[in-house]
């Protein structure tokens, strides 16, 4: 049932468990001169497990925001918008509230929902975007002074299916700190990070069911047009539609092998499975860069656990993505942990992510600092070739690649490097 006057729209409907993982568009008309759109929605069974997501599309289905199930009321106006939504001029014409029916549990099916839309035409200023700089400014000093308690140099901000924060980070970034732009593209078959985007660049989560891989490749190519980097996120996550069901094809640039705490609960195997899958890809000769992300959804988790450390020339989006593309990165449970690792052969040497051309013997050199009591593991395509409690090591190796892991006494991951590859002439 739809009722509308010049300022108010009310839409009532129902959804059943048979509607899981489908979307509904609720059209409404935006008159000329509208300066604000306020949307509220409610649905039954929320406390029983039902989940219906919320989004907004403008004229010609232009993206204007997405908040998933985190909010029950949002506003989009010419001067500002609820986080997750895009402020700016409101073009007249047919707009759409997007309802993503994520889960309707059988015990609470069917669910009834109500969407209420309130329009206003009061005078308001016009929003101007303020994206963050693409390079951290250290004013020529060689001493960096991180402006955060974790002592980070940078983060990438990736909201689910929206670029709204990419438009405003410039208002909040402290001097000497870098916030890179991105989107966590969220589909029913898995999530992936698009890093290094332009401020208003949107990567659609839509997937063509008749040719899934082709539509993913096209989306990744859009990321690459802005010299961005595409990462498969938490491929074995336990939440519904979070695990990766698509191909691990090489159009993706990397894979998140460590998401949040190593174990979110005692039986959690998601990160263990991700590292195992990545190792399988390496053994097959596939060069897939390993990354980590803190993926903060709950206050009990800490930003930069894990921390991805990129061996970059400077703290800039370009240099960090360039470092990621080379695989010049390692992961640690805490930002204070440091891993130095290189392979040498005669006068040749290569660091993390590098390629060593070796005609003779190869030696691995390792130095760990800041770690608690731990076990260092040296790993090749044949498996673990050395393990010890040493924090400094020189070890002869013969392998196609060598990588490191650092484990706690409880066998939790404390650190992990991307491999160094060995080429025999």
- Cα separation, 34 vs 57, whole angstroms: 15
Q: How confident is the model at residue 47 (pLDDT cuts 50, 70, 90)?
A: very high
For 62-120, the pLDDT digits (tens) are 999 999 999 999 999 999 999 999 999 999 999 999 999 999 999 999 999 999 999 99
For 186-227, the pLDDT digits (tens) are 998 999 999 999 999 999 998 877 787 888 999 999 999 999
Q: pLDDT at position 5, please?
A: 63
Query: Could you give the domains of the chain?
Result: 2-120 (2.60.120.380), 154-336 (3.20.20.140)
pLDDT above 80: residue 137 = no
What's the rounded mean pLDDT across residues 301-312? Answer: 93
Q: pLDDT at position 146, please?
A: 53
Task: Record the pTM.
Answer: 0.92
Cβ-proximal residues to 195 (8 Å cutoff; 6+ apart), any chain: 156, 158, 180, 181, 182, 223, 228, 229, 230, 231, 321, 324
* Exposure string over 169-186, b if 16+ CB within 10 A, otherwise e: beeebeebbbbbbbbbbb
For 220-230, the pLDDT digits (tens) are 999 999 999 99
In the chain, % of residues over pLDDT 70: 96
Could you give the C-alpha distances from 399 to 330, 369, 403, 411, in angstroms and in order? Answer: 20, 26, 10, 25
pLDDT above 60: residue 145 = no
Q: How confident is the model at residue 2 (pLDDT cuts 50, 70, 90)?
A: very low
pLDDT above 80: residue 139 = no
For 322-360, the pLDDT digits (tens) are 999 999 999 999 999 999 999 999 999 999 999 999 989
Angle at 334 between CA 332 and CA 336, to 5 degrees: 100
Q: pLDDT at position 301, please?
A: 83
Q: Which long-range contacts link 68-71 to residues 24+ away (Cβ below 8 Å)?
A: 68/100, 68/160, 68/161, 68/186, 69/102
Q: pLDDT at position 312, please?
A: 94
Q: Average pLDDT of the chain?
A: 93
In the chain, % of residues over pLDDT 90: 85
């Amino acid at each position: 049932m739809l009722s509308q006057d010049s300022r108010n729209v009310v839409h009532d409907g129902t959804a059943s468990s048979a509607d899981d993982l489908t979307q509904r568009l609720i059209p409404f008309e935006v008159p000329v001169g509208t300066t604000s759109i306020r949307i509220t929605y409610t649905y039954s069974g929320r406390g029983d497990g039902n989940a219906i997501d919320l989004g907004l599309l403008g004229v010609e289905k232009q993206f204007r925001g997405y908040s998933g199930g985190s909010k029950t009321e949002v506003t989009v106006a010419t001067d500002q918008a609820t986080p997750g939504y895009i402020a700016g001029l409101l073009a007249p014409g047919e707009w759409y509230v997007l309802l993503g029916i994520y889960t309707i549990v059988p015990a609470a099916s069917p669910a009834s929902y109500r969407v209420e839309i309130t329009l206003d035409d009061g005078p308001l200023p016009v929003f101007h975007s303020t994206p963050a700089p693409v390079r951290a400014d250290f004013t020529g000093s060689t001493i960096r002074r991180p402006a955060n308690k974790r002592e980070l140099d940078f983060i990438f901000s990736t909201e689910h299916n929206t670029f709204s924060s990419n438009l405003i980070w410039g208002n909040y970034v402290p001097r000497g700190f870098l916030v890179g732009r991105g989107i966590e593209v969220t589909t029913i078959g898995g999530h992936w990070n698009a890093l290094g985007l332009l401020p208003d660049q949107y990567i659609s989560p839509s997937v063509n069911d008749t040719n899934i891989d082709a539509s993913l490749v096209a989306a990744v190519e859009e990321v690459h047009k802005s010299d961005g980097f595409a990462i498969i996120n938490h491929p074995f996550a336990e939440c519904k539609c979070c695990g990766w069901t698509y191909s691990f094809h090489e159009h993706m640039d990397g894979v998140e092998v460590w998401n949040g705490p190593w174990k979110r609960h005692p039986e959690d195997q998601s990160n263990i499975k991700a590292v195992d899958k990545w190792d399988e890809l390496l053994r097959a000769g596939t060069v897939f860069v390993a990354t980590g992300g803190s993926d903060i959804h709950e206050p009990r988790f800490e930003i930069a656990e894990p921390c991805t450390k990129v061996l970059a020339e400077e703290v800039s989006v370009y240099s960090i993505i360039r470092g990621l593309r080379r695989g010049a990165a390692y992961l640690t449970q805490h930002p204070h942990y440091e891993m130095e690792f290189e392979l040498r052969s005669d006068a040749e040497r290569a660091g993390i992510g590098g390629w060593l051309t070796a005609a003779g013997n190869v030696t691995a050199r390792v130095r760990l600092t800041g770690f608690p009591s731990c076990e260092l593991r040296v790993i090749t395509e044949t498996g673990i070739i050395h393990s010890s409690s040493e924090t400094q090591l020189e070890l002869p190796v013969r392998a196609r690649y060598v990588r490191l892991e650092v484990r706690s006494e409880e066998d939790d991951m404390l650190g992990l490097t991307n491999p160094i590859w060995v080429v025999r002439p």
